Structure 1
Amino acid sequence: MITCHLRYEIDPSQTAAFETYVTGWIPIVTRFGGTHHGCFLPHEGANDIAYALFSFPSLAAYEDYRAAIRQDPEAQQLWQLSTETRCIRRFDRTFLRPAMQPSSGVGT
């Protein structure tokens, strides 16, 4: 499994547009075989940082999703929204893997 962690720097005056954008990806990720773990908007502290996390079974499955969304009308509408409103100033994408509890006998 691979988890994509997105850190967004957003325009605080466009938080509503950003919320529409970021939550719009939830059904798209699901439709293409991923699991969305949620979107997290500013509440206390910095008012221009937001996060989203979603997972795919493998990096190859994530790459298939990336190829598919280029042709997806809903994804194109979301990109258009972000372009028109400029709700996203920049974003960073980090890929994570789970660290699981070792099986018994390891480290003994």
Structure 2
Amino acid sequence: MITCVVDYTIDPSKIEAFEEFARRWIDLVNRHGGTHHGYFLPAEGASDKALALFSFPSLATYEQYRQLFGRDPEFIAADKIRDDSACVIRYERTFMRPLLPDETSS
């Protein structure tokens, strides 16, 4: 399993647009082979930071999903929310390998 962590710097005055953008991507990831773990939005502290975490069974599965970017109308529409609203100032993607609790040890 591979987990993508996306670290966003957002425009706090455009949080509603960012939430709409985020909801679209949760649905798209879940429908195209991944598991979206959610977006984590500002609550305390810095008001311009947000995170997204989603996993795919493998890097190959993630790459299949990435092939839809810029081609699939739903992917283009989701990115259009971000682009038209300018709710995202910048973002950085990092791939991580999760270490999950061992269910047999509880």
TM-score (structure 2 length as normaliser): 0.90
Computing the radius of gyration from Cα coordinates, the structure with the larger value is: 1
Q: Does 1:25 align with 2:25?
A: yes
Query: Which secondary structure does the structure 1 equivalent of 2:17 belong to?
Result: helix
Deviations 1:66-88 (A, max 9, x none): 00233221211111111111000
Equivalent in the alignment of 2:85: 85
Equivalent in the alignment of 1:34: 34
- Report the Cα distance in structure 1 between the residues aligned to 2:47 and 2:10, rounded to whole angstroms: 8
- Report the Cα distance in structure 2 between the residues aligned to 1:26 and 1:35, rounded to whole angstroms: 8
- Report the Cα distance in structure 2 between the residues aligned to 1:60 and 1:5, rounded to whole angstroms: 17
- Report the Cα distance in structure 2 between the residues aligned to 1:74 and 1:50, rounded to whole angstroms: 23
Question: Which stretches in structure 2 are left out of the alignment for 5+ residues?
Answer: none
Aligned pairs (5 A) from 1:67-78: 67-78=67-78
- Report the Cα distance in structure 2 between the residues aligned to 1:25 and 1:77, rounded to whole angstroms: 10
Kindly report the root-mean-square deviation, in angstroms, between the aligned alpha carbons of the 2 structures: 1.5
Query: Which secondary structure does the structure 1 equivalent of 2:95 belong to?
Result: strand
Q: Does 1:56 align with 2:56?
A: yes
- Percent identity reads 52
TM-score (structure 1 length as normaliser): 0.88
Query: Structure 1's 19 and 61: CA in aligned 2 closer, same or farther, altered over 3 A?
Result: same
The AA in structure 1 aligned to 2:18 is F
Displacement of 1:17 in angstroms is 0.2
Displacement of 1:39 in angstroms is 0.7
- Report the Cα distance in structure 2 between the residues aligned to 1:9 and 1:46, rounded to whole angstroms: 10
- Report the Cα distance in structure 2 between the residues aligned to 1:70 and 1:54, rounded to whole angstroms: 20
Equivalent in the alignment of 1:45: 45
The AA in structure 2 aligned to 1:40 is F
